[in-house]
């Protein structure tokens, strides 16, 4: 098998023995070329950005970013993924993000080989991963407590309490937090659904406001209102946005 035909693989696990095991198992498969070993999610995002691997062997529980968060950040760049974990509780979520396979630790060389066989079939057919679906598969419907933003190979972790407001820019959102702007590939409606019900209000088709940043509401011309934030930023409020805002402030 020539180098060019080989599938490139990245192994991500925060435990050194666990990475060693995958390295050993991979050595029996001549068509698999290990291009990076990563000890945490940040390294995984960097390595995936650099190597554009065909396959990621990905642990779930890791410091800072878990395996699912790594996938969320990589979006369509994640081609094939095989999860490895000691927990059986993530299997459904793994299936939802179109994982090739889900290996329960400890696993045998044979079981690992089956997973690789599945990956070969899947990657050869090169079925495109449905990006939107991938991005929208979240942590079991629970509200998020932080935003993950990828800036090339760097990852920013922003606690949602630090967010002032979010502005929609078509398929992207611009997030204003702690005096900085961050761009993320996500729709504003999608983010709105993930945020905790209290705290953020969709004051306008294009704006999602952290209600803790609201200083006052001013009537501009005619019937339209604007929100003045603590830092003097002005945002438009739509008619339905105002109703939502009132409901939240009155409750």
Question: Applying CB under 8 A, which residues contact another protein?
Answer: 14-18, 20-21, 24, 40, 42, 61, 63-64, 86-87, 104-106, 146, 157, 159
Nearer to another protein, 18 or 78 (CB): 18
Residues 6+ apart with CB under 8 A from 240: none
Nearer to another protein, 39 or 217 (CB): 39
Helix, strand, coil percentages for the chain (3-state, nearest 5) = 35, 35, 30
Minimum Å gap between C-beta 157 and another protein is: 5
How many alpha carbons fall within 13 Å on the CB side of residue 17? 2
Residues 6+ apart with CB under 8 A from 241: 201, 202, 203, 204, 207
Minimum Å gap between C-beta 12 and another protein is: 13
Q: Are 177 and 164 in contact (CB under 8 A)?
A: yes
State whether residue 161 is helix, strand or coil. helix
Q: Are 148 and 156 in contact (CB under 8 A)?
A: yes
Nearer to another protein, 122 or 184 (CB): 184
Q: Are 26 and 131 in contact (CB under 8 A)?
A: no
Minimum Å gap between C-beta 143 and another protein is: 14
Nearer to another protein, 61 or 240 (CB): 61
Minimum Å gap between C-beta 220 and another protein is: 39
Minimum Å gap between C-beta 107 and another protein is: 8
Minimum Å gap between C-beta 153 and another protein is: 16
3-class SS letters over 172-214:
EEEEEECCEEEEEECCHHHHHHHCCCCCEEEEECCEEEEHHHE
| d(C-alpha 208, C-alpha 202), whole Å | 4
Minimum Å gap between C-beta 14 and another protein is: 7
Residue with tokens 């105002």: 242
Nearer to another protein, 87 or 246 (CB): 87
- CA-nearest of 155, 151, 7, 17 to 81 is 7
Nearer to another protein, 112 or 207 (CB): 112
Nearer to another protein, 130 or 159 (CB): 159
């Amino acid at each position: 098998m020539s180098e060019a035909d080989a599938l490139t693989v990245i192994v991500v696990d925060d435990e050194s023995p666990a990475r060693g095991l995958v390295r050993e198992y991979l050595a029996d498969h001549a068509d698999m070329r290990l291009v990076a070993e990563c000890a945490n999610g940040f390294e995984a995002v960097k390595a995936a950005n650099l190597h554009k691997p065909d396959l990621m062997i990905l642990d779930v529980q890791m410091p800072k970013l878990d395996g699912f968060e790594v996938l969320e950040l990589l979006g369509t760049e994640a081609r094939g993924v095989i999860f490895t974990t000691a927990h059986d509780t993530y299997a459904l979520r793994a299936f939802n993000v179109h994982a090739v396979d889900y290996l329960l630790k400890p696993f045998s060389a044979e079981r690992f080989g089956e997973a690789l066989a599945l990956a070969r079939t899947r990657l050869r057919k090169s079925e495109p991963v449905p990006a939107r679906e991938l991005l929208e598969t979240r942590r079991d419907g629970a509200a998020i407590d932080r935003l993950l933003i990828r800036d090339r190979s760097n990852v920013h972790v922003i606690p949602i309490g630090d967010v002032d407001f979010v502005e929609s820019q078509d398929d992207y959102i611009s997030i204003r937090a702690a005096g900085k702007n961050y761009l993320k590939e996500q729709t504003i409606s999608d983010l709105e659904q993930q945020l905790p019900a209290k705290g953020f209000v969709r004051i306008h088709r294009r704006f999602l406001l952290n209600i803790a940043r609201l200083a006052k509401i001013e009537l501009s011309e005619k019937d339209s209102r604007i929100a003045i934030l603590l830092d003097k930023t002005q945002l438009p409020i739509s008619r339905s946005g105002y109703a939502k805002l009132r409901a939240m402030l009155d409750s």
